[in-house]
Structure formats: structure tokens, C-alpha cells
Amino acid sequence: MTQDEVLASAFAMPLTSPAYPRPPFRFVDREFIIITYRTDPAALERVVPAPLKVAEPIVKYEFIRMPDSTGLGSYTESGQVIPVTFNGEAGSYTHAMYLDNLPGIAAGREILGFPKVLASPRLEVRNDSLVGTLDYNGVRVATATMAYKYHALDEAAVRKSLESPGYLLKIIPHVDGSARLCELVRYRAFDLTVKGAWAGPASLELHPHCLARVSQLPVLEVLSAVHVLADLSLGNGEVVHDYLHATA
């Protein structure tokens, strides 16, 4: 291949057989439960990077089933999202994500900086309950339950919450192991259709693990839970803060 041919085709690794296609990615019948819980404020301050600011001492724990994801296939995801503000605008910072799909891991990490790690999450209906579990190397680190379609929610309000900006810390190392990129990235979902949304009673347990450290943001009180079925797309983001070139 000539240099021009390399530049024309290079957008992901490996060069001649990329792990994922070019974005955007469309997610159809994306089903998730989001359990909002109160946690230790000091623990939040230790993991949220400036210039983001912690909005409240709460965390949103998510289990997401994605049966139809263009270019990525079918997979399940689980993780923690923290409500934050950036320059006074409300949004959310993705702290941890665990999933069972290599294209999803590679695309999420390389393009936008999603903190995706290989694990074994599961979301299923068991009689009258939704049950979410997360195992890391065979060890249970999270268990969630929620009453199934217990109380319908205003779908327009849920859609508005899903359209709020998300923030990610994208880190790309140099060949010597130092940071070549260290950026705060903002992204938004688009072409969003909420097909159903429900609230209901829920529970959440987080268990210690040396590498899947979700329990470092402990559950002090479960505040609410929502169950959502939606179609949405994710594409490009924007760099809103460059740590390597920021002035003190």
C-alpha cells in the first residue's frame, strides 16, 4: 500500500480488517434499566475529573441490552454514570462500562473514549422482575432487580433526559507509555425514539473486586429506577478540554 492508500483507508485498527465500521452506530430496541442511588460525596470527588463538577452525591447504575446494533451486533453492557456539570451545563460523566462484545469495546474506546472493559453483564426478565447481573471473570460484582413495567412514565420527559450531553475522558498512550492524548469529550445521542418508559421499585448490590471496582461508589440509598426501550444513534463527539495543552 502506498502512503496515500494508507491514509485513505486508515480509520481504525487493524488497517486492513478494522474491528468496527465507521460511525454513526444505530441501536434498535435498546433496552436498559437505570438505577439512581445516593453515594459517598468524597468517593465521587476522587473519580470525577476536573473541569467537570459533581452535581449531586448520586450515581446512575445502568444495565443495557442492545440486540440490534449496526456494525457491532448484539451485546449487553453495564456500568456507572455520574451526573455532572460543565461550564454550568448539566450532563453526565461515564465512569465505568463493562460489556461482552469486542467491536463495541474497540469502537467505544478508540473513537470517543468510553471506558469499556470486557466482562459478562446480563439483563433479563424473570417473571415479574427485570434482573441485571455483572460478572467479572466469573465473580459477581453487581446485581440489580426492578419491577417489570410497573408504572408508565412520560416518554417525552425521558427522551429529554436521554438527549442531555455525556462526557468522557479519552486517553490514548504514546509508544513510550506516556499520554499522547488526554481529552474531555462531549457527545450526544440523536435520532432518538422512546418506545416505552416505566418506573418501579428496585434494588442494587455492588460487590468488591480488585479490577471491577464498582463498589468504590457505594450504594447508600436507592432513589429511583427507570426501564426504557428506545432507538437511538451515536456518532461523533467534540473535544471540550485538552489536558495536555490546558493552562493552569
Quote the distance between the C-alpha of residue 179 and its chain's center.
22
Tell me what pLDDT residue 138 has: 97
Q: What is the DSSP letter of 71?
A: T
Tell me what pLDDT residue 31 has: 97
Tell me what pLDDT residue 101 has: 97
Domain coordinates of the chain in residue numbers?
Answer: 22-242
Residue 53 and residue 93 in contact, taking contact as beta carbons nearer than 8 Å: no
List, for residues 224-246, the tens digit of each pLDDT value.
999 999 999 999 899 999 999 98
List, for residues 19-46, the tens digit of each pLDDT value.
999 999 999 999 999 999 999 999 999 9
List, for residues 100-120, the tens digit of each pLDDT value.
999 999 999 999 999 999 999
Residue 248 has pLDDT above 70, yes or no: no
List, for residues 82-101, the tens digit of each pLDDT value.
999 999 999 999 999 999 99
The Cβ of residue 173 has, within 10 Å, a number of other Cβ atoms equal to 11
The Cβ of residue 179 has, within 10 Å, a number of other Cβ atoms equal to 12
Write the burial class of residue 141 (CB in 10 Å: 0-12 exposed, 13-18 middle, 19+ buried): buried
Catalytic residue among 60, 116, 170, 195: 116
Residue 17 has pLDDT above 70, yes or no: yes
Tell me what pLDDT residue 246 has: 82
* Pick from 138, 136, 146: nearest CA to 222: 146
Class of domain 22-242: mainly beta
Q: What are phi and psi of 112, to 5 degrees?
A: -110, -20
**Partner residues linked to 90 by β-bridges:** 85
Q: What is the DSSP string of 141-191?
A: EEEEEEETT-EE--HHHHHHHHTS-EEEEEEEE-TTSSEEEEEEEEE--EE
Return the percentage of the chain with pLDDT > 70, whole number.
99
> Mean pLDDT throughout 152-156?
95
List, for residues 184-203, the tens digit of each pLDDT value.
999 999 999 999 999 999 99
Task: Give this prediction's pTM.
Answer: 0.95
The amino acid occupying position 62 is: E
The three-class DSSP label of residue 5 is helix
Q: Is 116 a catalytic residue?
A: yes
